[in-house]
């Protein structure tokens, strides 16, 4: 039977492994797959204008790590935020939701 001190250290160690900051996930369309292990994804963000209330569509392009080069241009993909992988890559490919026709 473990002592109280051993149980607390086990609990602390388990808590340290589970604690991870909130990571964003986005959906977007692949616009380029010319680079090795990297795709460019266009992500749409809808923002309500503060004064007039109109919903505005804003798009941004992010570079995404694609380990197996599986995504192609036009695919709808799910991406997730990750640690910096290079000077411009902070996202990784989670799954391909819909292949392009």
Burial class (CB in 10 A: 0-12, 13-18, 19+), 64: buried
Q: List the domain boundaries for the chain.
A: 23-98
Q: What is the pLDDT along the chain (101 residues), one digit of tens a residue?
A: 556 666 655 555 555 555 668 999 999 999 999 999 999 999 999 999 999 999 999 999 999 999 999 999 999 999 999 999 999 999 999 999 999 98
Q: Count CA atoms within 13 Å of residue 80 on its CB side.
A: 8
pLDDT for the residue numbered 8: 56
What's the CATH fold of domain 23-98? OB fold (Dihydrolipoamide Acetyltransferase, E2P) (2.40.50)
pLDDT for the residue numbered 5: 62
pTM of the model: 0.76
């Amino acid at each position: 039977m473990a002592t109280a001190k051993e149980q607390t250290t086990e609990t602390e160690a388990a808590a340290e492994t589970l604690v991870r900051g909130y990571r964003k996930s986005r959906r977007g369309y692949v616009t380029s797959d010319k680079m090795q292990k990297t795709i460019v994804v266009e992500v749409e963000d809808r923002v309500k204008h503060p004064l007039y209330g109109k919903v505005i569509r804003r798009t941004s392009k992010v570079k995404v790590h694609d380990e197996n080069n599986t995504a192609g241009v036009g695919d709808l993909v799910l991406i997730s935020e990750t640690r910096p992988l290079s000077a411009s890559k902070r996202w990784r490919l989670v799954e391909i939701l819909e292949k392009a026709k």
